[in-house]
Amino acid sequence: MTRGSSTARAAGIVTLVVAGLLGSAYVLGRSLVPDQTPRQSTGVTTNADGPHYADQPGVGEPGGAPSASASAAGTGPAEAGQDGSGRDAGGDNLFGAHATTGTPRLALTFDDGPDPRYTPQVLALLREYDVRATFCVVGENAQNHPDLVQSIVDAGHTLCNHSWHHDVGLGARSADAIRSDLLRTNAAIRAAVPNAPIVWYRQPGGAWTYPVVSVARQLGMTPLHWSVDPSDWELPGATKITATVLSQAEPGSVVLLHDAGGDRQGTVEALRRILPDLTARFELEALPTDPT
Ligand SMILES: [Zn+2]
């Protein structure tokens, strides 16, 4: 792709526009979506398209988790219903979660699956470009689609626990509740792939808290955040997803994408455009199963 100041300016403008749209969409979503029904309080609705991990009370809000990122307003992704905020992944609200690979290699991560419509498409594209990645799977989806978990592992990709029910507020629960959620998720994954290592945990929404980080570590999982977030779950379209990833990717990046949780055809199309460029510029890796 062409690089230069005009591209940089365009990327900056796009970023500003996207940030504005995200803010508007968030306010609109909050005003349209009541939080009081039990179904919505889980942040998940289910229809013919499968589970959608939708808006949920953010941290510090009524009904939400307390203050996971109150000290880092503007950088905390917890107000996002799914994963990611489109903002800086740095800051002090990560509680030590890894936001980069720690090496020159770049890692693609796919959250919220597996999903029978999109996960096979993602796997096919990764195979075409001989790329290994990391899949942050949701326990209930692993339970429902063990064949897809097997396909992920058979292709050499690595796994990450993404909680049982994509509970953005999990970090506010008791340590025992967090522990049983993470163990239940690992059990569903291991029912599909008994010997596959599960050494990463990604908190839904990036809503990290000290308890959730502590429990994950106690269970042998390293907390995993990200450094590049195109907010693909907000359906910005393949062109914007592609532009964000290609303009922000750098050595060590952990890129956040979603292969489930809604209409992900835009992400699949973006991946098709992203892979030729990324594989030319970086060495891509599945996050290792022996993190330190
Ligand atoms: Zn997620």
Burial class (CB in 10 A: 0-12, 13-18, 19+), 168: buried
- Tokens representing residue 10 in the block: 């365009």
- Mean of all residue pLDDT scores within the chain: 80
pLDDT at residue 91 in the model: 53
Question: How far is the centre of ligand 1, averaged over its atoms, from the C-alpha of 228 (Å)?
Answer: 14
Burial class (CB in 10 A: 0-12, 13-18, 19+), 128: exposed
Nearest Cα to 49, choosing from 265, 268, 269?
265
Mean pLDDT computed over 7-12: 49
Question: How far is the centre of ligand 1, averaged over its atoms, from the C-alpha of 137 (Å)?
Answer: 8
Question: How far is the centre of ligand 1, averaged over its atoms, from the C-alpha of 58 (Å)?
Answer: 14
Lowest model confidence (mean pLDDT) among 65-69, 173-177, 244-248: 65-69
The span from the CA of 178 to the CA of 172, in Å, is 9
The span from the CA of 230 to the CA of 220, in Å, is 29
- Neighbouring C-beta atoms of residue 267, cutoff 10 Å: 27
Question: How far is the centre of ligand 1, averaged over its atoms, from the C-alpha of 168 (Å)?
Answer: 8
Mean pLDDT computed over 10-22: 45
Mean pLDDT computed over 55-76: 35
Question: How far is the centre of ligand 1, averaged over its atoms, from the C-alpha of 145 (Å)?
Answer: 17
CB-based contacts of 291: which residues, under 8 Å, 6+ apart? Answer: 98, 199, 200, 222
Q: Write the pLDDT tens digit of every residue in 223-260.
A: 999 999 999 999 999 999 999 999 999 999 999 999 99
Q: Which residues sit with Cβ closer than 5 angstroms to ligand 1, an ion? A: 83, 111-112, 204
The span from the CA of 286 to the CA of 270, in Å, is 19
pLDDT at residue 292 in the model: 55
Catalytic residues: 111, 258
- pLDDT above 90: residue 79: no
Question: How far is the centre of ligand 1, averaged over its atoms, from the C-alpha of 234 (Å)?
Answer: 12
What's the pLDDT band for 2 if we cut at 50, 70, 90?
Answer: very low
Percent of the chain's residues with pLDDT above 90: 67
pLDDT at residue 20 in the model: 43
What's the pLDDT band for 41 if we cut at 50, 70, 90?
Answer: very low
Encode 61-75: b = buried (16+ Cβ within 10 Å), e = exposed: eeebbeebbeebeeb
What ranges in the chain are assigned the alpha helix state H? 5-32, 38-41, 119-128, 139-144, 146-154, 175-192, 210-218, 238-248, 265-281
What's the pLDDT band for 75 if we cut at 50, 70, 90?
Answer: very low
| In contact, 291 and 199? CB cutoff 8 Å | yes
The span from the CA of 196 to the CA of 211, in Å, is 25
Nearest Cα to 243, choosing from 15, 4, 82, 6?
15
DSSP string over 184-247: HHHHHHHHHSTT--EEEE--GGG---HHHHHHHHHTT-EEB--SB---GGG---HHHHHHHHHH
| In contact, 32 and 39? CB cutoff 8 Å | no
- pLDDT above 70: residue 36: no
pLDDT at residue 59 in the model: 36
Question: How far is the centre of ligand 1, averaged over its atoms, from the C-alpha of 44 (Å)?
Answer: 11
Q: Chain-centre distance of CA 213, in angstroms?
A: 16
Mean pLDDT computed over 130-136: 98
Round to the nearest angstrom and report the end-to-end CA distance of the chain.
36
Lowest model confidence (mean pLDDT) among 74-83, 172-181, 183-192: 74-83
